[in-house]
Amino acid sequence: MTKIQTAKQPRRRRPIVGRPVKWSQMTADQRAAACELVRNKDWLRCDDLESTFCYVLEDKFGFTGVKDWKFCWSLGSCQGDGVAFTGDINVEALAFKHPSLLKYVGPIILGKYDCRFVCSVKQDARSHYSHYNTMDVTCEEQHEYDWTSEEANRMAEWSGEIEDAVGEIVKDASRACELAGYDEIESTREDEYVGDLIEANDWEFTFDEDGGCEWA
């Protein structure tokens, strides 16, 4: 009679309770509890967000150099949430990404006018929120010689039109930052990401008999 061999079932890990436990020592249930505890910490939502915002702005504006900009954001899925930023935009550089601006910078590039336009983006100090509608854009025309009356009027007109155009580009970039920020937050809430974070930082936790979890 042939003897049937049955595969041995792997021994189930017994949970360690009452003393600090590393990620490698946890049961599946303990790992899930530790991940949930880490997910609830606010700092996890801010990790590397500014790098994400810089990447989005460089893509939207078509130039680098925004890493020193100041960012303010609130991404808690509440009314008034969003991303605001402060910095200076070289309109000439921006025009290569947004050709509609070539109407203004084209004559400068061709040497007809010896000047440049710079837009400043600032968050409204009166606002308690941080989103696309809480930023002000102002355009300054810089030159080294006196304009004729006709040229001065033209530059003033162009400055106003550039402010409006760049303002819309800034709002679009802000909304893109907001979406990218929420995507970043969502990715950091996945068990695989949080587990890697716990293991990389060698964090320890204590568990009770009922599965309760606390930082060690």
21 pLDDT above the threshold of 60: yes
For tokens 């309770």, the residue is 17
pLDDT in tens, 67-108: 788 888 888 777 778 999 999 998 989 999 999 999 999 998
Q: Find the mean pLDDT for residues 125-146.
A: 84
Confidence of residue 62 (pLDDT cuts 50, 70, 90): confident
Q: What share of the chain is helix, strand, coil (3-state, %, to 5)?
A: 45, 20, 35
CA distances from 78 to 16, 70, 95 (A): 39, 22, 34
C-alpha pair distances (Å), 108 with each of 33, 51, 95, 111, 161: 61, 33, 12, 5, 16
**What percent of the chain has pLDDT above 90?**
47
Look at residue 45 and tell me whether its pLDDT is greater than 70: no
pLDDT at 42 over 60: no
Segment 140-169 mean pLDDT: 92
Mean of pLDDT values over 18-29: 93
Bigger pLDDT: 102 or 44?
Answer: 102
- For the chain, what are the domain ranges? 23-215
| Closest alpha carbon to 101 in 146, 58, 53, 139 | 139
Q: Are 191 and 28 in contact (CB under 8 A)?
A: no
Q: CB within 8 A of 60, min separation 6: which ones?
A: 97, 169, 172, 173, 176
Confidence class for position 7, pLDDT limits 50, 70, 90: low
Rg (CA), the chain: 27
pLDDT of residue 44: 57
Distance CA 110, CA 129 (A): 42
pLDDT tens for residues 204-215? 999 998 889 999
Q: Say what the pLDDT of residue 106 is.
A: 92
Structure confidence at residue 58 as a pLDDT band (50, 70, 90):
very high
Question: Please, which pLDDT band fits residue 174 given cuts at 50, 70 and 90?
Answer: very high
